[in-house]
Chains A and B, each alone.
Chain A
């Protein structure tokens, strides 16, 4: 039974994929010093990623995911 309803995780994935630039910036920040990672080390980059993600999440429709 093919369902047309998007699963929450797919919506999550789709929204995240639209923030590639912010994700790369956050990833680079972590990988730059991955042996010394501590809490909120890249908080600024993460907040940028999350802001972008939340905006995209709202604009992602719940149906039509391929």
Chain B
């Protein structure tokens, strides 16, 4: 009897006419989702809720924000309306309000007047998906030196701003979590006013290659297969193409490695987690990495990447800095190819290898 009953639903469904669902159209440009945005959001929120720990691991984001803001020094302009895209804990705002000492051109010594970039900025809009992270430092003194408006948006991949709104868009260590970078860059280009810059820093290519390789080896040897633990990242070579495709002009892309020394791989992974930078790949396994793999990883990392004379292990962060300008009237244009009159070799010298 029970066997018969279990057959019933099967029979009924095979006899019933095929059910039609509503026709739906997928949006024009399907995007491969690599990162789970919801997971990322939760990770950032959770990390920022432990305020003490979260501030302690801001060393990387603060350093990169400083270096990013130094690039603003070269642009002799005022920026009435600036967007910080993916602000984290407003690290850029903090960097902008930190005075940068000027060097005397003759002696090389520090002069008394320092440049504070925030003087040149009218209003900074910080957008972030995680309210806990965005508002973490809302009470700190630097907030008083610069008008900051904090905005939480549900998704960094679709920006709720009108075209031609901002005089500059800055972004530090956020856009490496974006699934559809071409679309985001096109949106950034659109919300910028003509002849205004987009300046960003992101993790790229070889970031955390040590951890990536040693985890792969540990996974392979312990479990016989590899599962992704470290995000795929954009390569320097791709960035130029991406910016051009999004309509930016006069590109500058450069790369910088920051190597941080950690006592062991556990400290490295704990710090990444406290930064909210732990893996959010769609295809990753649920749950934490197994204890065996962690143990194996620690041994392999040390053997493979530790320098002879150092006590700790190195972790490389590769930063890609990019500057692109929205097209505008009166903007400097590159000359046509082949129109050069002076040979660079005559100015710079070199070019022949005879001693």
A interface residue numbers (CB < 8 A to B): 1, 7, 9-10, 12-13, 16-17, 22-24, 26-28, 30-31, 34, 37-42, 46, 49-50, 53
Identify which of A9, A27, A30, A34 contacts B270 (C-beta below 8 A). Answer: A9
Given known pairs A9-B270, A13-B267, A46-B296, the reply for A30 and B52 (CB within 8 Å) is: no
Min Cβ gap A52→B in Å is 10
Interface residues of B in 216-269 (CB under 8 A from A): 217, 220-224, 263-264, 266-267, 269
Number of A-B contacts (CB under 8 A): 73
- Given the complex of chains A and B, what is the CA–CA distance between A50 and B127 in angstroms? 46
Could you write out 28 A-B pairs with CB less than 8 Å apart?
A9-B269, A12-B266, A13-B263, A13-B264, A13-B266, A16-B264, A16-B266, A23-B298, A23-B302, A24-B302, A26-B299, A26-B300, A26-B303, A27-B300, A30-B217, A30-B221, A30-B296, A30-B300, A37-B220, A38-B221, A39-B222, A40-B221, A41-B221, A46-B221, A46-B296, A49-B296, A50-B295, A53-B295
B304 interfacial by beta-carbon distance below 8 Å:
yes
Pairwise interchain contact A37-B221, C-beta atoms closer than 8 A = yes
| Chain B neighbourhood of A26, CB < 8 A | 296, 299-300, 303
Given known pairs A23-B302, A26-B299, A28-B303, the reply for A17 and B224 (CB within 8 Å) is: no
Interface residues of B in 179-231 (CB under 8 A from A): 217, 220-224
Pairwise interchain contact B266-A31, C-beta atoms closer than 8 A = no
- Given the complex of chains A and B, what is the CA–CA distance between A23 and B296 in angstroms? 8
Min Cβ gap B319→A in Å is 27
Pairwise interchain contact B303-A30, C-beta atoms closer than 8 A = yes
Please name the residue on chain A nearest to B264 by beta carbon. A13
Min Cβ gap B218→A in Å is 8
Please name the residue on chain A nearest to B291 by beta carbon. A12
Pairwise interchain contact B217-A34, C-beta atoms closer than 8 A = yes
Pairwise interchain contact B295-A27, C-beta atoms closer than 8 A = no
Min Cβ gap A24→B in Å is 6
| Chain B neighbourhood of A24, CB < 8 A | 299, 302-303
Pairwise interchain contact B299-A23, C-beta atoms closer than 8 A = yes
| Chain B neighbourhood of A12, CB < 8 A | 266, 291, 294
Given known pairs A13-B264, A16-B266, A46-B296, the reply for A39 and B304 (CB within 8 Å) is: no
| Chain A neighbourhood of B224, CB < 8 A | 38-40
Given known pairs A12-B294, A26-B296, the reply for A17 and B221 (CB within 8 Å) is: no
Interface residues of B in 283-339 (CB under 8 A from A): 291-292, 294-296, 298-300, 302-304
Q: A23-B302, A39-B223 are in contact. List 4 more A-B contacts (CB 8 A).
A: A22-B299, A23-B299, A31-B303, A49-B295
Most buried by B among A1, A23, A28: A23
- Given the complex of chains A and B, what is the CA–CA distance between A12 and B300 in angstroms? 16
Given known pairs A31-B303, A41-B221, the reply for A9 and B52 (CB within 8 Å) is: no
| Chain A neighbourhood of B223, CB < 8 A | 39
- Given the complex of chains A and B, what is the CA–CA distance between A29 and B93 in angstroms? 49
| Chain A neighbourhood of B264, CB < 8 A | 13, 16-17
| Chain B neighbourhood of A38, CB < 8 A | 220-221, 224
